[in-house]
A and B are shown apart, each in its own frame.
Chain A
Amino acid sequence: MKLDAKIPDGPLAEKWDRHCFASKLVNPANKRKYDIIVVGGGLAGESAAATLAELGYNVKNFCLQDSPRRGHSIAAQGGINAAKNYQNDGDSIFRLFYDTIKGGDFRAREANVYRLSQISNSIIDQAVAQGVPFARDYGGQLANRSFGGAQVSRTFYARGQTGQQLLLGAYGALMRQVKQGRVEIFSRREMLELVVIDGQARGIITRNMLSGALERHGAHAVVLATGGYGNVYFLSTNAMSSNVSAAWRAHKKGAGFANPGFVQIHPTCIPVHGVHQSKLTLMSESLRNDGRVWVPSRVEDQRPPAEIPESERDYYLEKKYPSFGNLVPRDVASRNAKEQCDQGKGVGDTGLAVYLDFSEAIKRDGAASIRRKYGNLFDMYERITAGDPLREPMQIYPAVHYTMGGLWVDYNLMTNIPGLYALGEANFSDHGANRLGASALMQGLADGYFILPSTIGNYLAGAGTDKINVAHEAFEQAEQDAAGQTAKLLGVKGTRTVDDFHRQLGQIMWNHCGMARNRQGLEKALKLIPELRAEFWQNVLVPGSGQELNQSLERAGRVADFMEFAELMVEDALAREESCGCHLREESQTEEHEARRDDDNYSYVSVWEHQAQDRPKLHKEPLSFENVEPSRRSYK
Chain B
Amino acid sequence: MTESAIVPLPDAAAEGSAARAHLMRRLLRNGTGLAAIIVLVLVVLGAIFAPLLTHADPNKADLNSLLAPIGPGHPLGADAAGRDVLARLLYGTRFSLAGALLATAIAAFIGVVAGLIAGYYQRWFESIASWAASLLMALPAIVILLAARAVLGPSMWMSMAVFGVLLSPAFYRLVYTAVVGVRNELYVDAARVAGVGDASIIGRHILAVVRAPIIIQAAMVMGISIAIEAGLDFLGLGDSSIPTWGNMLNDAFSKMYQAPVLLIWPSAAIALTSVALVLFANTLRDELERAGSGGRAKVQSTATGTVFGEPAIVHADEPGSAAPILAVHDLVVGYDRPGGEFKQVVNGVSLTVRRGEVHGLIGESGSGKTQTAWSILRLLPEGGRIAAGTIVFDGVDLSTQSEKQLCRIRGRRISYIPQEPMSNLDPSFTIGSQLVEPMVVALGISRAEAKRRALSLLARVGIPSPERTFSSYPHEVSGGMAQRVLIAGAVSCEPDLVIADEPTTALDVTVQAEILDLLRGLQRDLGVSILIVTHNFGVVADLCDRVSVMREGRIVESGPVRELFRDPRHPYTRSLFDAILEDGAARGALAHSSDRHTVKEGAR
- A, B: real partners: no
